[in-house]
Amino acid sequence: MPDATPSTQHAAPGGGPPPDGRPLAIRLRAVAKTFGKGESAVRALRGVDLDVPAGALTMLVGPSGCGKTTLISILAGLLARDAGELAVFGQDLGALRRDRLSAWRRDNVGFIFQQFNLVPQLTVAENVSVPLVLKGESVGAAVRKAHDILATLGLEGRGASAPLKLSGGQQQRVAIARALIHEPRLLVCDEPTSALDAELGRRVMGFIRDRSRSPDRAVVVVTHDDRIFHLADTIAHMDDGLVRSVERRAPHIEPPQTAKQGSA
Amino acid sequence: MFRFAIKMLFGDNAKFYGILLGLGFASLLIAQQASIFVGLMSRTFAFIGDVGHVDLWVFDPTQSYVDEPKPLRTTALERVRGVTGVAWAAPLYKGLLVATLPDGKRQLCNVVGIDDDTLAAGPGTIVEGSVADLRQPDAVMVQVGSSQQNMMFPAELAPGALPAPGQVIDPKGPKRPVQIGDIVELNERRARVVGLVRCPETFTPGPTIYTVYSRALTYAPPARRVMSAVLVKANEGVDPAELCERITEQTGYAALQPWDYSMRTLGYWMRETGIPINFGIAIALGFFVGVAIAGQMFYNFTLDNLRYFGAFKAMGASSRLLLGMVALQALVAGVLGLGLGLGAVSAFGLNAAGGKLAFKMLWQIPFIAAGAVLVICVLASVISMWKVVRLDPADVFKGA
Ligand SMILES: Nc1ncnc2c1ncn2[C@@H]1O[C@H](COP(=O)(O)OP(=O)(O)OP(=O)(O)O)[C@@H](O)[C@H]1O
Ligand SMILES: [Mg+2]
């Protein structure tokens, strides 16, 4: 854990700023996860320490099977850890019961899946509206907001289409709209650009990066795609169930020009 | 989200229509077969219901259904009349006899002889003529408008006319229905049609012929026992059930109220024939077709949607909400499929009314079909729901 000194970083989860001056969104200490039992047990995470800064785009990179998906599943509240500490915006997810946890995800997390998982029988706008509808908003109001956010993603007029009528890149933007419509504090993406060409991948990541620029937001992206590494504010390198190193690329709080003291 | 659940169901055209067809077909089979079963079985005792104004039937204690030929001794009538509480008792003849038509055609007929004096227990619906006409010599009334075998006469013969000597009537020539004035032979004895009646469809083949009891005996082959039953009217204020007991006690005959006698008859056919089993199999088949087609299609539909349910779950939809969505989808499919099936059955029943098919849709039958469809939907959705509940939201990141 080259850059993290747990004793000095924060006393309380989500508390004071880390040494480099960035507020903290997510704090993991010695997080472990094992799948299965006995002979066939797989230790997917073997004590991960990681600080995910707020207002920044964090990438998780590493070889296949090193535990990236497992890690974002845990910090998004989809998967329970076996051991260690985890606080997301100050909330210990392990302390929440199942139904509270799903309500927490509904209120705080946006997801972008590799398979976009857009429901083909629903229109584009209806797909995008789902997080708001889940929060109790009326379908009518939610769909109107969906049209608005689709417009900001260059998809105006496409809200009434069937998702499968759109190109892969357009579908990915629909998925992004769906992940962002309820303005989640945490956005997690697993391989969001793997289905896109280089140019589209950069544009999509640029959009996601812009959304991270707020002190009460955080974005975590799992990727293999070295074409987009340069957009990251922080890159956590994983291997064999551990975070081996963290590159901090730039300061992250607006205005970005004030304190350039990125660490590596 | 429930609106979206419905859209997901309707939007998947192939599966949706498959589910509807499966459920529709299942409810069609179940309701249609059940209706025919009820229709057919109610024919077994229809005659009892058609005999009006009678409080009880007295018959041989070993007789298990109304058409069973187990006649009583003639003395039974007087013995029944001697029981206190009996207002009147009338003899009844009921037997299958062969009628010979003017063209030589022979036809099995169901002959009913009613009390000469009172003419009680006569035909329920008279189309033409009057029961009193039965008092004329050789008079009979013949059933018309049956779905089974009506009595048909050669069209070239006017009512009452017999073929001239040497006149050859083509048995395959044109026919007309029986009319008043027509003459037939019953067991070589003349019978003249004085009236036309309508009777409920029964199990016994051939038209029903009404006549008076004494004349029926002249048509029937001679035998020591000829009286099929004694029909009894109870005195005012006498409980028919008690009277039944008293008659049995004092005469040794069985006595039942019409409905109980109907049920005894029905019970015989249910127990002693393969009819219930055969219809039971058809109905069960309908149910399994429903489970196999609709249930399995619905399950596949849910499986197809599992990744979206998984995504919803990751996005914070509770399991309860997802279960509600699946249940709603099953319910909507069930109601629509049931409507489709019952609609088809009713259309079928309307066409069958007056047709040859015994079709009787009791009010319970749609509920039975609905229950069956409900079971199918619950089965299908419970298996589907199990998948949805077991869904690990973390799996949404695992590429499908
Ligand atoms: N549900 C599970 N049951 C059993 N083993 C699992 C499960 N999920 C993940 N694993 C195992 O845990 C390890 C880490 O998996 P994970 O999916 O987190 O890797 P990853 O870094 O995302 O890999 P990739 O880059 O291929 O997506 C792997 O060995 C994987 O086989
Ligand atoms: Mg992965």
- What the block records as the tokens of A193 is 């650009």
pLDDT digits (tens, 9 = 90+) for A153-165: 888 899 999 999 9
Whether the CB-CB separation of A247 and A50 falls below 8 Å is answered with: no
> Same structural domain for residues B323 and B224?
no
Do B170 and B195 share a domain, yes or no? yes
Residue A146: predicted pLDDT: 95
Mean pLDDT in consecutive groups of 10 residues from the start of chain B, 400 residues = 91 87 86 84 84 86 84 88 90 91 88 89 87 92 83 85 79 86 90 91 84 92 85 90 91 91 89 85 84 83 88 90 90 90 82 66 82 83 81 70
Say if residue B101 is in the same domain as residue B236.
Answer: yes
pLDDT of A250: 62
Out of B308, B316, B398, name the one closest to residue A119 (CB). B308
Closest by CA to B93, choosing from B110, B113, B75, is B113
Q: Which ligand is in closest contact with the Cα of A40?
A: 1
pLDDT tens digits along B131-152: 999 999 999 999 988 777 788 8
Question: Does residue B99 sit in the same domain as residue B243?
Answer: yes
Domain boundary among B203, B227, B256: B256
- Structural domain contains residue B282: yes
Residue A78: phi, psi to the nearest 5? -90, -20
Of B3, B307, B318, Cβ closest to residue A99: B318
pLDDT band at A262 (very low <50, low <70, confident <90, very high): very low
Per-residue confidence band for A83, with pLDDT thresholds at 50, 70 and 90: very high
pTM of the model: 0.75
Ligand 1 centroid–CA A94 distance in Å is 21
* B302 Cα to chain A: minimum distance (Å): 13
* Average pLDDT of the segment spanning A110-115: 86
Q: How far is the CA of B397 from the centre of ligand 2 (A)?
A: 7
Is pLDDT above 70 for A258?
no
A122 CB neighbours in chain B (<8 A) are 4, 7-8, 11
Residues B112 and B74 in one domain: yes
In this prediction, residue B162 carries a pLDDT of 80
Q: In what order do the strands lie in the sheet with A218-222?
A: A109-112, A186-190, A218-222, A57-61, A234-239, A242-248
Is the distance from the beta carbon of residue A48 to the nearest atom of ligand 1 less than 6 Å?
no
Domain end, chosen from B228, B256, B284, is at B256
Residue B207 lies in a domain: yes
Considering the domain architecture, whether residues B193 and B290 belong to the same structural domain is answered as no
Which DSSP symbol is given to B362? -
Residue A30 pLDDT: 94
Domain span holding position B350:
2-43+274-399
B394 vs A139: CB contact, 8 Å cut-off?
no
Which atom of ligand 1 is nearest to A73's Cα?
18
Q: Is A36 in the pocket of ligand 1 (CB under 6 A)?
A: yes
Token couple for B354: 């007056």
pLDDT of A132: 96
Q: Are residues B65 and B124 in the same domain?
A: yes
Which residues fall within 8 angstroms of residue B382, CB to CB, at 6 or more apart? none
Please indicate whether residue A64, judged by its CB atom, sits closer than 6 Å to ligand 1.
yes
- Nearest CB to B1: which of A99, A114, A134? A134
> Going by C-beta distance under 8 Å and a sequence separation of 6 or more, which residues neighbour residue B51?
B92, B121, B124, B231, B258
Lowest mean pLDDT among A34-38, A44-48, A236-240, B27-31: B27-31
Atom 4 (ligand 1) nearest CA = A35
Q: Is residue B374 within a helix (H) or strand (E), and if so which, with residue range?
A: helix B364-390
Rounded mean pLDDT, A99-109 = 92
In a domain, B48, yes or no: no
Is residue B269 in some structural domain?
Answer: no
Residue A70 CB less than 6 A away from ligand 1? yes
Contact B71, B228 (CB under 8 A): yes
Residue with the smallest CA separation from ligand 1 atom 25 is A64
Residues B281 and B387 in one domain: yes
- Best B315, B320, B325, B398 member to test A by mutation, with max A CBs in 10 Å, is B315
Q: Which of A103, A117, A122 sits opposite B396 (nearest CB)?
A: A117
A140 pLDDT more than 90: yes
Same domain, B123 and B237: yes
Q: Does residue B109 belong to any structural domain of this protein?
A: yes
**Quick check: A121 and B12 CB within 8 A?**
yes
Distance of residue A105 Cα from the nearest chain B Cα, in angstroms: 5
Q: Which ligand is closest in space to the CA of residue A67?
A: 1
* φ, ψ of residue B222 in degrees (nearest 5): -65, 140
* Shared domain check, B317 and B218: no
Structural domain includes residue B307: yes
pLDDT greater than 70 at residue A131:
yes
Q: Which has the higher per-residue pLDDT, A9 or A120?
A: A120
**Structural domain contains residue B262:** no
> What is the tally of structural domains in chain B?
2
Q: Do B314 and A134 touch (CB under 8 A)?
A: no
Q: In chain A, what percentage of residues exceed pLDDT 90?
A: 53
**pLDDT value for B32:** 84
Cα A42 to ligand 1 centroid, rounded to whole Å: 9
Residues within 8 A of B (CB atoms), A 79-108 only: 79, 99, 102-107
Q: How far is A251 from chain B (nearest CA, A)?
A: 30
Measured in angstroms, how far is the CA atom of residue A170 from the centroid of ligand 1?
A: 29
Whether residue B365 sits in one domain with residue B294: yes
Boundary (domain end) residue, out of B210, B226, B256: B256
The residue nearest atom 18 of ligand 1, judged by CA position, is A67
CA distance A241 to A23: 26
Cα–ligand 2 centroid distance for B269 (angstroms):
69
Residue A62 contacts residue A235 (beta carbons within 8 Å): no
Give the 3-state secondary structure of residue B86. Answer: strand
SS3 content of chain A, % helix, strand, coil (to 5): 35, 25, 40
Q: Cβ–Cβ of B396/A131 closer than 8 Å?
A: no
Residue B90's contacts (CB-CB under 8 Å, 6 or more residues apart) are B114, B115, B117, B118, B120, B121, B213, B230, B231, B232
Query: B390, B392, B396, B398: which to mutate for ligand 1, most atoms within 8 A of CB?
Result: B398
pLDDT per residue over A198-222, tens digit each?
A: 787 888 888 888 888 888 899 999 9
Do B287 and B342 lie in a common domain?
yes
Q: Quick one: how far is CA B358 from the chain centroid? A: 5
Restricting to A residues 198-257, those with a Cβ less than 8 Å away from any Cβ of B are none
B261 within domain boundaries: no
